[in-house]
Amino acid sequence: MALKVPESVLKKQATQAKIAEQAKQASYEARQKKRQDKKDAIAAAEKYSAEYKATEDAAIANRRQAKAQGGFYVPSMPKLALIIRIRGTIGVSPKAKKIMQLFRLRQIHNATFVKLNESTIRMLRLIEPYVTYGYPSRSTVEKLIYKRGFGKLNKQRIPIADNSVIEEGVGSVGIKCCADLIHEIYTVGPNFKEANNFLWPFKLTSPRGGFSNKTKLVHFLEGGEAGNRGEEINKLVKRMI
Amino acid sequence: MSGNQRLLRRETGPLLRIAETMAARPLVSIFSLTGEKSGETTLPEVMSAPIRTDIVQFVHINMNKNHRQAYAVNIHAGKQVSAESWGTGRAVARIPRVGGGGTSRSGQGAFGNMCRGGRMFAPTKTWRKWHRKINVTQKRYAVASALAASAVPALVMARGHKIDEVPEIPLVLDNSLESAKKTSAAKDILAAIGAIDDVNKAAESKKIRAGKGKARNRRYTLRRGPLVIYKTNDGVEQAFRNLPGVELCCVDRLNLLQLAPGGHMGRFCIWSQAALDALNEIYGKNGKAIPEDIMANADLARLINSDEIQSVLNPAKRANKKFLRKKNPLTSIKALAKLDPYAAAARESEQRAEAARKDQRAAILKKRRETAKSKKQYRAQGLAFYEKVSKQGDVCANGFTIA
């Protein structure tokens, strides 16, 4: 007499088989997606490197032309700034406190990118004694995002260990890989706001070799560290990253 | 058995009790007084009431208080003294002291609870609330639960009754049980149906009580044996009442304190057929209400795995993706490859080129050393020329050639 298999066992086998099938399909699709993403990432990176080279070459060409004609080449005002907070939280005036909150610089040695326009420049003026800022180079932007890059996913600070983090956070806007993100930040593209807001404020260390001998508190031009220091910010970031 | 009945009920449809047929309920054998099966009847509905230990416990605790006798101290105890405090200034405590003299009692403290011969703190009163009122529905629920538990052999055994030899639970004997007259006959009946073990257990357990109760007219303690339930007393009471541990009860007056002694359900009950059938009248549509189950089907595993529920569930959630420790893409090419395969490929090829250059370095050095060597050979020549030239005195004819 053959034993009948209990119906519950049969049902369970059927559902498990279905789940296995779905899982197989899902993993196949995931692998395809991964392959495609890699191709896209490489294509994008190539495009961007060509773009960067083109802009550099254009700048060089302009300078040479100006020199040749005896005139001047005035490059456009910088669009991107990197702000680093260099003073602590105690005893900050309320207006400055609020502005630093708006820039997401709530802690000492926090750094964020900011788009430079009329309003942000005025805001920076008000917080000059508490921060230092400047115009980061592309390699600085890259280094910051690679080493200290964390994304805001679901209000959580998730390390950018994989492009999936970026895609989940900011993919809806067309930024799918790290190269896209760096490009958007550096060239201050149309979705700069989303890209920058996705990036959690960078938490840098104190600079190796220390701040200036004189005193941190005065303006950079006076031998201190505060305020706008233009291209010099790259050197500082190198010591703080 | 009650579990079975619930399953069966489910299969007959949603309108449970009304649509039920007799055949749908389990049958209970009826035994003759000599122990042979002599008939069958259906299990009464009460026997499948929900078994609620919490309600039985609650009702039992409170019901148990109802046969208490009041106790209290004498209202005058400690107060029949005309004591007054001596006040301050006499180097004694201010407690009221017995006046007068000529006896050791004079000057002793009185009235206080701390004093010898004084009244106690909070003298106990007879008007303490001794009895407890319990809602009738709750009492009925408890009895129904206890009856249901008495039909489950596991619970009866768990309560401690010796029912290994008993042929069936619930144990039903035919109506001639009710007209048993002699205790010897009663003993034989119990032996025939295997209930004697429980009675023997009770008999052997008779011991002098531990504690003061032994001096307060509660000298012996005894285990509880079977409970014989009858419909009409035609001599049963007198036949069975002297057997140790055996208790008797009429169906019309079922007592929770007997059905669940100590608040523990599962008393071993011996029914007469009339008594068991009477349960159908007492509990039912026209009689006392039988409590309803909260869940008709309590088999959670089966419910969860049923088609009805599974078909409307959301798909199972996957565990959140864990982000493994972040590696620095500036130092690790593997980490960089995840983020920017183009840059990683570039860095990798650069590294390979560097490695290749390193290998070639040996060849380059060799070449350099050879050229150095070959240059060195001219050094000797040069030195020789210089020597010659330094020795020479005048400038030669054409200024260059040495003779």
* pLDDT reported for residue A9: 87
CB of A174 within 8 Å of any CB in chain B?
no
Please, is B117 exposed, middle or buried when counting C-beta atoms within 10 Å of its C-beta (0-12, 13-18, 19+)?
middle
Q: What's the rounded Cα separation, in Å, for the pair A192 and A207?
A: 28
Q: What's the rounded Cα separation, in Å, for the pair A148 and A139?
A: 13
Q: Which residue has the higher pLDDT, B377 or B383?
A: B383
Q: Which residue has the higher pLDDT, A88 or A12?
A: A88
CB-CB under 8 Å, A38 with B323: no
Of all residues in chain B, the one with the smallest CA distance to A161 is: B326
The answer to whether residue A48 scores a pLDDT higher than 50 is yes
- Hey, what are B313's tokens? 């569930």
Nearest to A146 among B323, B325, B329 (CB): B329
Residue among A25, A144, A145, A162 with most chain B CBs within 10 A, to mutate? A162
Going by pLDDT thresholds of 50, 70 and 90, the confidence category of residue B7 is very low
Residues of A in contact with B332 (CB under 8 A): none
Span B90-108, pLDDT tens digits:
999 999 999 999 999 999 9
Half-sphere exposure of B286 (CA within 13 A, CB side): 5
Per the CB < 8 A criterion, the answer to whether B55 and B292 are in contact is no
Q: Using CA of residue A8, residue A10, residue A12, residue A15, what is the dihedral sign?
A: negative
CA distance A102 to chain B (A): 28
What is the average per-residue pLDDT within A123-150?
96
Of all residues in chain B, the one with the smallest CA distance to A42 is: B342
Q: Which residue has the tokens 């040069």?
A: B382
Q: What's the rounded Cα separation, in Å, for the pair B120 and B113?
A: 5
Residues of B in contact with A14 (CB under 8 A): none
The answer to whether residue B351 scores a pLDDT higher than 60 is yes
Which parts of A70-209 fold into alpha helices (H)? 94-102, 118-126, 138-148, 163-170, 178-186, 192-198
Q: What's the rounded Cα separation, in Å, for the pair A50 and A47?
A: 5
Displacement of CA B42 from its chain's centroid (Å): 34
* pLDDT reported for residue B162: 95
Q: What are the DSSP E strand ranges found in B78-192? A: 83-85, 96-98, 171-173
Residue among B322, B325, B339 with most chain A CBs within 10 A, to mutate? B339
What is the average per-residue pLDDT within B271-282?
95
Q: What's the rounded Cα separation, in Å, for the pair A94 and A130?
A: 12
CB-CB under 8 Å, A161 with B330: no
Q: Which residue has the higher pLDDT, B4 or B237?
A: B237
Nearest to B339 among A12, A46, A163 (CB): A163
Per the CB < 8 A criterion, the answer to whether B341 and A41 are in contact is yes
Nearest to A177 among B310, B336, B340 (CB): B340
> Which range has the worst mean pLDDT, A14-28, B191-205, B330-344, B369-383?
B369-383
Q: What's the rounded Cα separation, in Å, for the pair A121 and A110?
A: 19
Of all residues in chain B, the one with the smallest CA distance to A142 is: B330
* pLDDT reported for residue B399: 67
CB-CB under 8 Å, B330 with A143: yes
Span B142-195, pLDDT tens digits:
999 999 999 999 999 999 999 999 999 999 999 999 999 999 999 999 999 999
Q: Using CA of residue B296, residue B302, residue B307, residue B310, what is the dihedral sign?
A: positive
Query: Which residues have a Cβ under 8 Å from the Cβ of B282 and sit 6 or more positions away?
Result: B251, B252, B288
The answer to whether residue B222 scores a pLDDT higher than 70 is yes
* Alpha carbon distance, N-terminus to C-terminus of chain A: 76
CA distance B353 to chain A (A): 20
CB of A12 within 8 Å of any CB in chain B?
yes
Residues of B in contact with A15 (CB under 8 A): 310
Q: What are the beta bridge partners of residue B172?
A: B30, B271
Nearest to B328 among A12, A147, A163 (CB): A147
* pLDDT reported for residue B22: 44
CA distance B392 to chain A (A): 59
CA distance A208 to chain B (A): 18
Quote the crossing angle between the two packed helices A7-69 and A163-170, to the nearest 10°: 90
Per the CB < 8 A criterion, the answer to whether B215 and B237 are in contact is no
Mean per-residue pLDDT over chain B, rounded: 89
Q: What are the beta bridge partners of residue B271?
A: B172, B229
Q: How far is CA A48 from CA A53, A177, B101, B347, B372, in A?
A: 8, 12, 118, 17, 47
CB of A49 within 8 Å of any CB in chain B?
yes
What is the average per-residue pLDDT within A59-88?
95
Q: What's the rounded Cα separation, in Å, for the pair B84 and B99?
A: 7
Q: Which residue has the tokens 């490929």?
A: B345
Residues of B in contact with A146 (CB under 8 A): 328-330, 336, 339
CB of A11 within 8 Å of any CB in chain B?
yes
Q: What's the rounded Cα separation, in Å, for the pair A144 and B192?
A: 93
CB of A41 within 8 Å of any CB in chain B?
yes
Q: What's the rounded Cα separation, in Å, for the pair A200 and A157?
A: 7
What is the average per-residue pLDDT within B318-330?
82
Nearest to B338 among A8, A49, A163 (CB): A163
Please, is B147 exposed, middle or buried when counting C-beta atoms within 10 Å of its C-beta (0-12, 13-18, 19+)?
buried
- Hey, what are A165's tokens? 């983090």
Q: What's the rounded Cα separation, in Å, for the pair B316 and B328?
A: 35
Q: What's the rounded Cα separation, in Å, for the pair B260 and B104?
A: 57
Give residue ranges of B with CB < 8 Å to any A CB. Answer: 302, 305, 307, 310, 323-330, 335-336, 338-343, 345
Q: What's the rounded Cα separation, in Å, for the pair B96 and B82?
A: 9
Q: Which residue has the higher pLDDT, B390 or A39?
A: A39
CB of A161 within 8 Å of any CB in chain B?
yes
Give the Cβ contact number of residue A126 at 10 Å.
14
CA distance A78 to chain B (A): 26
Span B292-305, pLDDT tens digits:
988 888 889 889 88
Per the CB < 8 A criterion, the answer to whether B226 and B14 are in contact is no
* pLDDT reported for residue A166: 95
The answer to whether residue A1 scores a pLDDT higher than 60 is no
Q: What is the H or E stretch that residue A68 is in?
A: helix A7-69
Q: pTM, whole model, 2 decimals?
A: 0.60
Q: B337-346 b/e with 16+ CB inside 10 Å = b?
A: bbbbbbbbee
Residues of B in contact with A143 (CB under 8 A): 330
Q: What's the rounded Cα separation, in Å, for the pair B203 and B242?
A: 11
CB-CB under 8 Å, B335 with A178: no
Residues of A in contact with B340 (CB under 8 A): 41, 45, 177-179
Interface of A with B in 127-146 (CB under 8 A): 143, 146
Q: Which residue has the higher pLDDT, B370 or A148?
A: A148
Query: Which residues have a Cβ under 8 Å from the Cβ of A204 and sit 6 or more positions away?
Result: A84, A109, A110, A111, A148, A237, A240, A241
Going by pLDDT thresholds of 50, 70 and 90, the confidence category of residue B396 is low
Of all residues in chain B, the one with the smallest CA distance to A146 is: B329
CA distance B322 to chain A (A): 10
CA distance A217 to chain B (A): 32
Q: How far is CA A161 from CA A109, A197, B330, in A?
A: 22, 18, 12
Q: How far is CA B348 from CA A47, A229, B125, in A?
A: 20, 35, 97
What is the average per-residue pLDDT within A212-233?
92
Phi, psi of A192 (to 5 degrees): -55, -40
CB-CB under 8 Å, B340 with A179: yes
Cis peptide before A78 (omega within 30 of 0): no
For the residues of B155-166, what is the DSSP string, one character each? Answer: HHHHHT---TT-
CB-CB under 8 Å, A12 with B330: no
> Which range has the worst mean pLDDT, A46-55, A107-116, A207-216?
A207-216
Span A84-98, pLDDT tens digits:
999 999 999 999 999
Q: How far is CA B248 from CA A2, B2, B211, B233, B268, in A?
A: 53, 25, 28, 10, 12
* pLDDT reported for residue B121: 95
> Which range has the worst mean pLDDT, B19-33, B252-266, B310-324?
B19-33
Q: Which residue has the tokens 């002599």?
A: B38
The answer to whether residue B12 scores a pLDDT higher than 60 is no
Give the Cβ contact number of residue B371 at 10 Å.
10
Going by pLDDT thresholds of 50, 70 and 90, the confidence category of residue B394 is low
Q: Which residue has the tokens 């104190």?
A: A206
Per the CB < 8 A criterion, the answer to whether B223 and B160 are in contact is yes
